[in-house]
Amino acid sequence: MKVFIAVCFLFVYVYSLPTFDATLDSAWALYKRTYEKQYGSNVEESKRRSIWEDHIALIRKHNLEADLGLHTYTMGMNKYGDMTNLEFVKQMNGLRRPSNVSFPAACGKKYVAPSNFKRPDRVDWRTKGYVTPVKDQGDCGSCWAFGTTGALEGQTFAKTQKLIPLSEQNLVDCSGAYGNEGCNGGLTDDAYRYIRDNKGIDTESSYPYEAKDGKCRFTTKDIGATDTGCTDIEQNNESALQDAIATVGPVSIGIDATQSSFQFYKSGVYIEPSCSATNLDHAVLAVGYDTQDTVDYYIVKNSWGTSWGNQGYIWMARNRDNQCGVAAYANYPNV
């Protein structure tokens, strides 16, 4: 009887295992090697392989449709390919608004375009020295800290002509009293208020990024930049956002980055009808704007490393009814 039960259990176990596409064996091995993936058990690896194969199918289908002209952007496999979309969003997207409250215009100062300003057709602050190389937030929901430092790095360069990478870890570890929660999320305007009251933020080289919550180790001798607060850009007003980008420099914005299409974005203008203009969950940096084949887009710097997207960047749709909420929560520091 015991033997019979054991055989039954073995039968159920074997036939409950997922079946994999054998033609993808070498691609799976390459994926694991490329992104240094290691799993604690065969069961865990089987789970991750199954998720990865589903994403392979999703990407292939999308790109075939893109070849037929149904999409303006392509998708590609990346280091997040073995994570479900829910896992990915929970881990990577850390823009947190107060409970039951829409994203606030909390800086207390509102952007006003200069008089007689004529907006240029295209802007790219990377070519002017305002933007540091793409960074990687790792397994930590600290996008809000990277959005903050990116905008402050640009404004500091505008004032001093020195591009100084600033410490996201400083913000993760030290700005909790202002409402931020380190790797569990935060807001850029709260981070600007911390920097103002703290009278500075340390340089990245003196306070390097660790992708985890830690004890505050800020020191005044290592300050790389300061601010006197921040300025809000009128909510849901893309004209104001574009004017601010053109006249001020890189601007921190909040977006909806919950879609699988965003998780695997590779190139082209990201037009995603399923995006929300109100449910924002990710902070990024708008460093310019342009047009490709009559399709307008923002040049957006992400904080997921250069292996994601277009060398770490994404072209977000512009002038399409505030798609993905690009203008719902935008601000920059006063320097």
Which entry of 302, 310, 322, 331 is annotated as an active-site residue?
Answer: 302
Burial classification of residue 105, based on how many CB atoms lie within 10 Å of its CB (0-12 exposed, 13-18 middle, 19 or more buried): middle
Which entry of 174, 180, 282, 331 is annotated as an active-site residue?
Answer: 282
Q: For the chain, count helices (H), then strands (E).
A: 9, 11
Instruction: Tell me if residue 302 is catalytic.
Output: yes
Amino acid identity of residue 146, one-letter, is F
Sole residue written with tokens 């039960």: 5
Instruction: Tell me if residue 62 is catalytic.
Output: no
CA dihedral 152, 158, 164, 168 (to 10 degrees): 10
Provide the CA 277 distance to its chain's centre, in angstroms: 16
β-bridge pairing 265-270 and 313-317:
parallel
The full DSSP string for 170-225 is HHHHH-GGGT--GGG-B-HHHHHHHHHHHT-EEBTTTS---SS-------GGGEEE
Instruction: Tell me if residue 180 is catalytic.
Output: no
> What span, in angstroms and rounded, lies between the C-alpha atoms of 263 and 213?
24
Task: Identify the helix (H) or strand (E) that includes residue 62.
Answer: helix 42-67
> What span, in angstroms and rounded, lies between the C-alpha atoms of 69 and 213?
44
SS3 per-residue string spanning 175-190: CHHHCCCHHHCECHHH
For residue 192, what are the CA distances in angstroms to 133, 135, 145, 205, 270?
21, 19, 10, 20, 29
Q: Which residues are catalytic?
A: 143, 282, 302
